[in-house]
Structure 1
Amino acid sequence: MAPILGYWNLRALVEPIVLTLKQAKQPYEYKTYKLGGAPDYDKSEWLKEKENLGLEYPNLPYYIDGDLKITQTLAILRYLGRKHDLGPKGEEETIRSDLIEQGVMEMLLSLFRAWYADNDQFYEANIIKLVPYLEQKFEHTSKVLGSNQFLLGDRVTYNDFLLYSTLDYIRLFKCSLLDPHQGLKDYLDRIEALPEIEPYFKDENFKRFPITGSMAKFGSGN
């Protein structure tokens, strides 16, 4: 029986996991939960199951493979990295991978904090702070990548899919932020051209939006 990956019907935190599974050629069942629109933002599909799946920390995304049940995005990614040889090797790579992982996750979560604003005024104030923050993080990320094909050299790891998803969301939000960083643009192209990944993006069912739920000021596709 194939593992089950559960998440809302949007990209957000699940996309790096999906890409890692595709790269690993791991069949899986993708169970999506509908997140309703305004004003109620109905979560009943998930709430009906939340406490009945045997999850220690009930949350989305989750990954269930027989008796193995994992929640939390990074925990799932690390597990898949170890299982499918898509993680760091040795202490030096592990330290570097941990550092990159936390840096990219910080950048990703900054997007959601800015986009999930209570009103337009708060959203505009958030964006004023977000843009210079991202400009600085792009400088750091460009240096981290350097002349490497991927984050840890010439071998793709789960962190590449975490970074890819984050950069893709940012270019959909404000593509000009990437203009000074041709290396990051080339990196995005390289990820999309991976033999196991390319068919996913070319599939007629693939959609860039929604990234976020309908309560967000950006990313819902509304």
Structure 2
Amino acid sequence: MTIHKTNKPRVAEDGEYATATSTLPVLQYYPARGRAEPIRLVLAFAGQAWFEPPPDSIRQIQAIQRREWDGYPFRQLPRFIDEVHGEVDLVQGGAILRHLARKYDLYGGERGDLVAAARVDMMLDGVADLRVKLRDLVVSKQLAQAAVAEYTGSVLAPERELKEHGMMGPGLACLEYVLANSRFSEAGWFVGPRPSVVDFAAFDLVDLHLAQPQLEDAVRGRFPLLVEHHDRVAGLAGVREYLASDSRHEVVWPVDWIRSTPGAGSGAAGGNA
């Protein structure tokens, strides 16, 4: 699976992208994994190529977000345009994932199964909450030793410890529990008999943890089913090819790209990461 890159930056409003991409969907984001990575994983699994405009600098994106409120109603990325000049033109990563789940039948059950869809929505929100905690540790607290220790003792606490501390918030043990007890799937997925959109969001969350040496051992030691699930998703057709390709961005967090880009403000990523 390849994303269609070009050396010349293009953005959706400019119009030029249309002739360059034919009928490919457009995913606009920083050249980093960030909040767009689950979207890329779903597109790769669905066998849907996409176009990703490579911005020269964060200044270009900032200017567009200030100017085009119709295209950026919440002034943030990712932005996804499903077809050239298509009516489906979305920001908000969760909304984009849910749109793709409906389009590619990745909502955990047969079409119209409201129970499975509700469970997928619940799990997606849970994964998103955990991702916020990880982002705060890595981006805001810069993996400070004390912060890592606190995170390892709370978000990465094993199930028994998490249950003993009633005031402690959710952790990866909550996801491990769903898999261990086959709560919503007898097939080893999170919801339903085949991969759903939440499996790709959970893969990304675990992948982000495994990318941090300070957290990797705790995750592998305490959450073996999450790691096994991560490996299973990585082996899916489409996903396997995408992960092995040079289309996958090496930069994990957008703020790291922003900090390394001349003229880009350090706080520009905001809620886009």
Partner of 1:98: 121
Partner of 1:45: 60
Distance 1:27 1:206, change over 3 A: closer
Asked whether 1:135 is paired with 2:152, we answer no
The 1-side partners of 2:32 and 2:246 are apart by 16
- Unaligned 5+ segments in structure 2 are 1-22, 158-170, 260-265, 267-273
Name the SS of the counterpart of 2:154 in structure 1. Answer: helix
Q: Percent identity?
A: 22
Partner of 1:39: none
Asked whether 1:197 is paired with 2:239, we answer yes
The 2-side partners of 1:34 and 1:20 are apart by 26
| 1:6 counterpart letter in structure 2 | Q
The 2-side partners of 1:153 and 1:211 are apart by 31
Match of 1:79 among 63, 86, 99: 99
Asked whether 1:149 is paired with 2:188, we answer yes
Q: How does 1:180-195 map to 2 (within 5 A)?
A: 180-195=222-237
Name the SS of the counterpart of 2:194 in structure 1. Answer: coil
The 2-side partners of 1:170 and 1:34 are apart by 29
Task: Say if 1:33 and 1:45, in contact at 8 Å, map to a contact too.
Answer: yes
| 1:129 counterpart letter in structure 2 | E
- The superposition leaves residues 54-99 of structure 1 with CA deviations (integer Å, 9 ceiling, x where unpaired) of 3233320000132321000000000000011011342221222122
- Give the aligned length: 207
Partner of 2:14: none
The 1-side partners of 2:125 and 2:74 are apart by 21
Name the SS of the counterpart of 2:188 in structure 1. Answer: coil
Bigger Rg over Cα: 2
Task: Say if 2:31 and 2:251, in contact at 8 Å, map to a contact too.
Answer: no
The 2-side partners of 1:27 and 1:53 are apart by 27
Which moved further from structure 2: 206-215 or 22-31?
Answer: 206-215
Task: Say if 1:54 and 1:69, in contact at 8 Å, map to a contact too.
Answer: no
The 2-side partners of 1:200 and 1:80 are apart by 17
Asked whether 1:171 is paired with 2:191, we answer no
- The superposition leaves residues 103-137 of structure 1 with CA deviations (integer Å, 9 ceiling, x where unpaired) of 1111111111122236x6x8344323222222232
The 1-side partners of 2:81 and 2:131 are apart by 24
The 2-side partners of 1:34 and 1:168 are apart by 27
Distance 1:107 1:145, change over 3 A: same
| 1:61 counterpart letter in structure 2 | P
Task: Say if 1:9 and 1:32, in contact at 8 Å, map to a contact too.
Answer: yes
Q: CA deviation at 1:145?
A: 1.5
| 1:52 counterpart letter in structure 2 | E
Q: CA deviation at 1:212?
A: 4.0
The CA RMSD over aligned residues, in Å, is 2.2
The 1-side partners of 2:235 and 2:70 are apart by 38
Match of 1:57 among 56, 61, 74: 74
The 1-side partners of 2:121 and 2:69 are apart by 29
Distance 1:19 1:206, change over 3 A: same
* TM-score normalised according to structure 2 size: 0.69
Task: Say if 1:117 and 1:123, in contact at 8 Å, map to a contact too.
Answer: no
